[in-house]
Structure 1
Amino acid sequence: MTAATTLKTWYWLHKWSSLVCTVFLLVICVTGLPLVFHDEIDQWLDNGKPYAVAPADAPTASVDPMVAKAHALYPGQVITFVFADDEQPQVLVGMAPSFATATTDSHTLKFDAHTGELLNDGPPGERYTFMGIMLALHMDLYAGLPGELFLGFMGLLFVIAIVSGVMLYGPFMKKLAFGTVRAGRSRRLKWLDLHNLLGAVTLGWGLVVGVTGVINELSTPMFTYWQKTDVAQLLAAYKHAEPPAVLTSAQEAREAAMRALPGQSFVSLSFPGNPFGVPHHYIVWAKGSTPLRSHLFTAALVDAGTGQLTAVASPPWYLSALELSRPLHFGDYGGMPLKIIWALLDLLTVVVLGSGLYLWFARRRATDARIAALARQASLVASLPARAS
């Protein structure tokens, strides 16, 4: 394959991968901007009671009274999870009308982690609050698993567009110094130079966010596969057993799991029947204390009928890759300075995507104008003999 043919192939890949994904990438970038600051926005929009004043080492309250309070407030609903926030002294209890609708119609109750007091009763339909809308559009376009897979494919096209753009940058810019913007030339050339420059500036960030975004969009099939393989093997003895009619204490399940995971901290507890859980067991998630291990989770399976530990399931490599990709995707591991950098790079990427669309339309207009001019010339030439006669 000659150099010219290779260059044409890269150009074709860059053009079509960019065109197909650009509109959806713009949606992802616009919705991703507030998600970078989701903790700060959630606190700003939170109208619940303030946290109780307590020492940093104060013990946390039992989750059983919180679960009982949630059941009392919504007796016809199911509890899907209990989540302990490690950044704020709060415990979140997730509820839904049924487990079948847990991923689309749920709400969250917030309790004080030290006193167990109900601080805020989240409204039903949290997917239709401002942050809920941003998250749903960013993750699945309100289309569930098909939406997740579709956006994952768009993310893959984005990565192809970045790689092909890198392969084109050198040949197209070899006669110009890096960062040159030919402002004195045509508008199209100026925007082409800006597009190339900003694309080079956001190159590393775009690859990181694109690859981790693709991984995140595969979270549902990843968890489903893990449940049907590793977890199913650990729970083979329960395959034909009926789920427990009465659940044991959630706090006892939490304590049984944490005794088997010394040195780790409790993160969340999935109730039996949860779409990301199993029928007969609580799944208790815990994480390590080191900077790396704090992003890696271990699952303990506790019999929901007896409260006894059944097994500890260390997630496989693909779930570890998923957990590590989440903070990278949102810049959620370096505090506010990194979040600001993530937001600025997100805005620059919007400019890159928008300028790419402009360049394509400008090229189309220029091509159409040339074709029209040639057609007029051909028509004029064809009419000359008739005039001469």
Structure 2
Amino acid sequence: MKARTVRLWSLVHTWSSLVPTMFLLLLFVTGLPLIFHDEIDELLGYAPRPESSAGLPPAPVQRIADAALAADPGRVLQYISWDKDEPGLVTAITNSAANGKPDDATVRAFDAVRAKPLGLVGTGPMLIILKLHTDMFAGQAGKLFLGGMGLLLLVAIISGVVLYAPFTRRLRFATIRRHSSRRVRWLDWHNLLGVVTIMWALVVGATGVINTWAELMLNQWKTTELAQMVAAYGGKSAPSHLASLDDVVARARQAAPGMDIAFIAFPGTPFSSSHHFVAFMRGNTPLTSRLLKPVLLDGETAVVADSRELPFYLQALLLSQPLHFGDYGGMPLKLIWAALDVMTIIVIGSGVYLWFARRRRRSSVTSAMPVLCRQQE
């Protein structure tokens, strides 16, 4: 590679790394505890668990909905969801209005068999960490900003790969020059850990960027696919009374045989129309359990109005979310994710150190030039 090309790639790598440095450190530092968010919530007592109910039939869904409304009088139900990993747990989300702001929602867990409230969900310190990680408490603008920082991370990774061969062509792989200066030793560690974490950082960076576009993708689905699904019912107003949730569940399962219900969106919520329920169904394999299929049901009669697959961009979003936090392989994968996260923090930190060390070195050389010139006169 020509020297001029190397200098150009070096500039790209330097500034695509430096500009988002503080935000990348925020993302990877907050991302570390989020890998173990379930375990931490359970340890701190913020993860309600149902009583043992082996062999007992689940309670009617309408009974759970009534219990949720009784627990939060004056509010309306937005969503009811079923925990994929804990069959005995049902979550109900209420708000001041069907289209109320997410920050105003109350999330409460219920025993799926006894319809008994188990406590609030998502109220512990992990919620603060999650908000910092996803949008820095700045809403959609914060998400898109962090998505931009994620794109710069991808540029930094790609440019680092391009530069790796020219800068290490005289060294064996994984060489640490222990007898050289501190700056050189850190450069070797920076290059080594960068190579070790490259694929992981690309996956986490790319899935993180996709996740920041979630709201935009949902709006696109609502204005295209969902609009087509409800087009024949465009003249219908909000339901005067809601159909029984037991009927909604039964007919949704008939419309999607072999699938389970992930969650039900009530009429008027961001995931439904003003007149319809939408039951989001999931498969029962490790992969298909991450993908959802919407079933549109009349809000008053529970009659199935339409059902179709989600578009590819929402499927990509659904697959990227658990991959981002290492939720596919249980604790072994989480430990690997955590180790790679720590390594990436070291790569970012060492990159900042190398930049400052290089500037100090150049400054020292520049300041020494006049002295050398006077000595030669």
* TM-score between both structures, scaled by the size of structure 1: 0.91
- Alignment counterpart, residue 310 of structure 1, candidates 301, 305, 309: 305
Change (3 A) 1:103 1:173: same
Cα 1:330–1:172 change in 2 (3 A) is same
Q: Tell me how far apart the structure 2 counterparts of residues 372 and 97 of structure 1 sit (CA, whole Å).
A: 66
Q: Which amino acid aligns with 1:25?
A: L
Q: Tell me if 1:5 matches 2:4.
A: yes
What amino acid does structure 1 have at the position aligned with 2:64? Answer: M
The 3-state SS of whatever aligns with 1:104 is helix
Residue from 162, 171, 187 that aligns with 1:167: 162
Identity %, equivalent residues: 44
Q: Which moved more, 1:113-122 or 1:9-18?
A: 113-122
Aligned partner of 2:76 in structure 1 is 78
The answer as to whether partners of 2:27 and 2:133 remain within 8 angstroms in 1 is yes
Note the 1:1-389 alignment, pairs <5 A.
3-46=2-45, 50-55=49-54, 58-88=56-86, 89-122=88-121, 126=122, 129-374=124-369
Q: Give ranges in structure 2 of 5+ residues lacking alignment.
A: none
CA distance 1:178–1:32, shift in 2 (3 Å): same
Shift of 1:237: 2.2
Opposite residue 286 of structure 1, the aligned amino acid is: M
Q: Note closer, same or farther for the CA distance 1:46–1:273 as it changes in structure 2 (3 Å cut).
A: farther
Residue 48 of structure 1 and its aligned partner are, at CA, apart by 7.4
Paired amino acid for 2:8: T
- Cα offset for 1:64? 1.3
Q: List, as ranges, runs of 4+ consecutive aligned residues in structure 1 with deviation greater than 4 Å.
A: 47-50, 375-378
How many Å separate the matches in 1 of 2:142 and 2:246?
36
In structure 2, how many angstroms separate the alpha carbons of the residues matched to 1:350 and 1:49?
32
Query: What's the CA shift for 1:279?
Result: 1.7
TM-score, normalization: structure 2?
A: 0.94
Task: Report the 3-state secondary structure (helix = DSSP H, G, I; strand = E; otherwise coil) of the residue aligned with 2:210.
Answer: helix
Q: Deviations over 1:167-215 (max 9, x none)?
A: 0000100000110111211111111110000000001111111111111
- Following TM superposition, by how much is the alpha carbon of 1:249 offset from its aligned partner in structure 2, in angstroms? 2.0
CA shift in 2, pair 1:370/1:99, >3 Å: farther
> C-alpha displacement at 1:49, in angstroms?
6.7
Report the Cα offset of residue 101 of structure 1. Answer: 4.2
Alpha-carbon displacement from aligned partner over 1:131-190 (angstroms, at most 9, x marks no partner)? 111111111111111111111111111111111101000010000011011121111111
- Secondary structure at 1:93 match in 2: strand
Deviations 1:12-69 (A, max 9, x none): 11111111122111111111111111221222223677522222x5432222122112
CA RMSD of superposed structures (Å): 2.0
Q: Is the 8 A contact 1:248 1:307 kept in 2?
A: yes
Q: Residues 80 and 102 of structure 1 are in contact (CA less than 8 Å); yes or no, is this contact kept in structure 2?
A: no
Greater Cα shift, 80-89 or 338-347: 80-89
Q: Is the 8 A contact 1:61 1:116 kept in 2?
A: yes
For residues 67 and 367 of structure 1, what CA distance do their matches in structure 2 show? 68
1:374 CA displacement = 3.0
| CA 373–99 in structure 1, closer or farther in 2 if over 3 Å, else same | farther
1:387 aligned partner: none
Give the AA of the match of 1:175.
Answer: R
Indicate how the Cα distance of structure 1 residues 99 and 188 shifts in structure 2: closer, same or farther if over 3 A, else same. Answer: farther
- Opposite residue 9 of structure 1, the aligned amino acid is L
Deviation, 1:274, is 2.0
Count of matched residue positions in the alignment of Structure 1 and Structure 2 = 376
Once structures 1 and 2 are overlaid, which stretch shifts more, 237-246 or 189-198?
237-246
Deviation string, structure 1 residues 299-322 (Cα, Å, up to 9, x no partner):
111111221111112101111111
**For 1:144 and 1:313, how far apart are their aligned partners in 2?**
30
Q: Sort the Cα spacing of 1:234 and 1:100 in 2 relative to 1 into closer, same or farther, 3 A.
A: closer
